[in-house]
Structure 1
Amino acid sequence: MTAPFHIINSDGAAPWVLACDHATNRVPPDVAEGDLGLPPADMSRHIAFDIGAAGVTRELSRLLGAPAILSDFSRLVIDPNRGEDDPTLLMKLYDGTIIPGNRHADAEERARRVALFHRPYHEALAGLLEARGAASVTCGIHSFTPQLRGRPPRPWQIGVLFEEDRRLSDPFVARLRAEPDLCIGLNEPYPGGYPGDTMDRHARARGRPSLLIEIRNDLISDEVGQAYWAARLAPLMQAALEDANHAQPA
């Protein structure tokens, strides 16, 4: 079995470590023989992965000179952005769609997928951060669908999610607000975090500054959009990090 993640730019000198938890819709052959029973149209939806997030992450990694980790399994296999005891770790119904390959997944199958995919991904991310020591900064890159079924349209282009530690999110939001054409969501379209999720586990619990960025996926559905938004966000991220460092007491 190959590693359930890809690491790129591992020697990047930047303090940033980028994490793309939902990089792909791939179902490895170790799970339901590689087919969760959904048609291609559903596997191409946001329920299976964060559309465009991988491309943005790769380009941000290049622009920032930062290492990045990208999952190599669909969030429907097991969700790396959930704690191991989270009830939504293995979804059987998502945005109105039943997941046939998960329908009869029991506690044993859930534990097997955690061991095969979820845990190795987080161990690798922890290793990247520890290699950078106290100066490391975690950044999660996600995308969101413009509209859930039966819900209102989501107007935001960019969402910034945060909880109590706002050392990095506040200066980043300030930088975004200086861009007159952006519609920004604060803790939109989701709340700031869940116990045991990626930012909680690797940043908040360890006192590391962190940033969690959500981009509306219709803006980054192709390479042109991915390159545009990465190029636009990279200098704002770097400026926000400098702002945050300057704001810390000497």
Structure 2
Amino acid sequence: MTSVNSPDPAPFDLLDPDAPGPALLLCDHASNAVPAWCAGGDLGLSAADMARHIAWDPGAAGVTRRLAQELRAPAVMSRFSRLVIDPNRGADDPTLVMKLYDGSIIPANRDAGPAEVARRRALAYDPYHDAIAARIDAMLARGTTPHLVSIHSFAPKLRGKPPRPWHVGVLWAHDDRLAPPLIARLRAEGDLVVGDNEPYTGRLEGDCMDRHGTRRGLPHVLIELRNDLIADAPGQAAWAARLVRLLAGLIPVAGDA
């Protein structure tokens, strides 16, 4: 698990930037780290809360790393907790800096006003999105059409809510080049409950896929994996292998895009 209270100010990891692609892997909620520049590296939550899904997407980073390796693709991954600032929200979204999440009050965010939000944007949110845009530009410049694949995870159950039935969800809005055929292939596996824009909707204006996929006309899909299925290395490896197999033919092989 990524360590909490990391002093490292780097807001993102860039994996294998010169990989041929054409997939470009993204992981918006790869880390639960709180940089030292944010509330002294402590949001006022317990270690147990910081390990929960409210602070990051458990398992998503491991799946992303394996996918990037198997697909010979670059990857951009966050290095800060979604509770510092959420890179999968539009810049004007009121939940950009969460004050309450799944029953937990975030003490260091309680009084975060516009100036603090702007500071966090400049130090974490904007550099993360700039890194994605730069990687897209570099791939386009060499004649490769990036196919964006964003990896997330979700909790099997929220506090006070019934268990979620899905094993995996595929989130999408207007672009139908990757999401609908992937949903069909996942359902054809026969052993999965597959959500189509569940447990969340992919139709959020200004979110990461809207910003870098829809607005740039690029093929894209957001995949949500139930986090108990990818809680350890074997689970992450199994799901990465399954996704590589199911994405075959939907994303061109390296050198063909």
**Equivalent-residue separation in structure 1 for 2:250 and 2:198 (angstroms):** 20
**Equivalent-residue separation in structure 2 for 1:132 and 1:178 (angstroms):** 32
Answer whether contact 1:157 1:183 (CA < 8 A) is retained: yes
**Equivalent-residue separation in structure 2 for 1:22 and 1:129 (angstroms):** 19
User: What corresponds to 1:157 in structure 2?
Assistant: 167
SS of structure 2 residue aligned to 1:182: coil
Q: Does 1:209 align with 2:219?
A: yes
Q: Does 1:199 align with 2:209?
A: yes
Answer whether contact 1:51 1:221 (CA < 8 A) is retained: yes
Q: Does 1:220 align with 2:234?
A: no
Answer whether contact 1:80 1:198 (CA < 8 A) is retained: yes
User: What corresponds to 1:28 in structure 2?
Assistant: 35
User: What corresponds to 1:246 in structure 2?
Assistant: none
Q: Which amino acid aligns with 2:27?
A: C
Answer whether contact 1:38 1:99 (CA < 8 A) is retained: yes
- Identity score, percent: 58
SS of structure 1 residue aligned to 2:250: helix
Q: Does 1:172 align with 2:182?
A: yes
**Equivalent-residue separation in structure 2 for 1:46 and 1:209 (angstroms):** 28
Query: Structure 1, residues 138-176: CA drift from partner, whole Å, max 9, x if none?
Result: 111000000111111111111001112211111111221
1:177 offset after TM fit, Å? 2.0
User: What corresponds to 1:45 in structure 2?
Assistant: 52
**Equivalent-residue separation in structure 1 for 2:247 and 2:100 (angstroms):** 35
Select between 73-82 and 157-166 the one with higher mean Cα deviation: 157-166
Q: Which amino acid aligns with 2:42?
A: D
Structure 1: segments with no counterpart, 5+ residues: 243-250
SS of structure 2 residue aligned to 1:219: helix
1:178 offset after TM fit, Å? 1.9
Answer whether contact 1:37 1:100 (CA < 8 A) is retained: yes
Q: Which amino acid aligns with 1:94?
A: Y
Q: Does 1:127 align with 2:137?
A: no
User: What corresponds to 1:93 in structure 2?
Assistant: 100
**Equivalent-residue separation in structure 2 for 1:78 and 1:193 (angstroms):** 20
The number of residues matched between the two structures is 242
**Equivalent-residue separation in structure 1 for 2:174 and 2:72 (angstroms):** 28
Q: Does 1:61 align with 2:71?
A: no
**Equivalent-residue separation in structure 2 for 1:173 and 1:151 (angstroms):** 25
1:75 offset after TM fit, Å? 0.1
Answer whether contact 1:160 1:173 (CA < 8 A) is retained: yes
User: What corresponds to 1:14 in structure 2?
Assistant: 21
1:238 offset after TM fit, Å? 2.5
Taking structure 1 as the reference length, the TM-score comes to 0.94
Structure 2: segments with no counterpart, 5+ residues: 1-7, 253-257
Q: Does 1:235 align with 2:245?
A: yes
Query: Structure 1, residues 110-145: CA drift from partner, whole Å, max 9, x if none?
Result: 000000000000000011111111611111100000
SS of structure 1 residue aligned to 2:111: coil
**Equivalent-residue separation in structure 2 for 1:74 and 1:41 (angstroms):** 14
**Equivalent-residue separation in structure 2 for 1:61 and 1:146 (angstroms):** 25
Q: Does 1:102 align with 2:109?
A: yes
User: What corresponds to 2:149 in structure 1?
Assistant: 139
Two-structure CA RMSD over aligned residues (Å):
1.1
Taking structure 2 as the reference length, the TM-score comes to 0.92
Shift >3 Å, 4+ stretches: none
**Equivalent-residue separation in structure 1 for 2:28 and 2:233 (angstroms):** 19
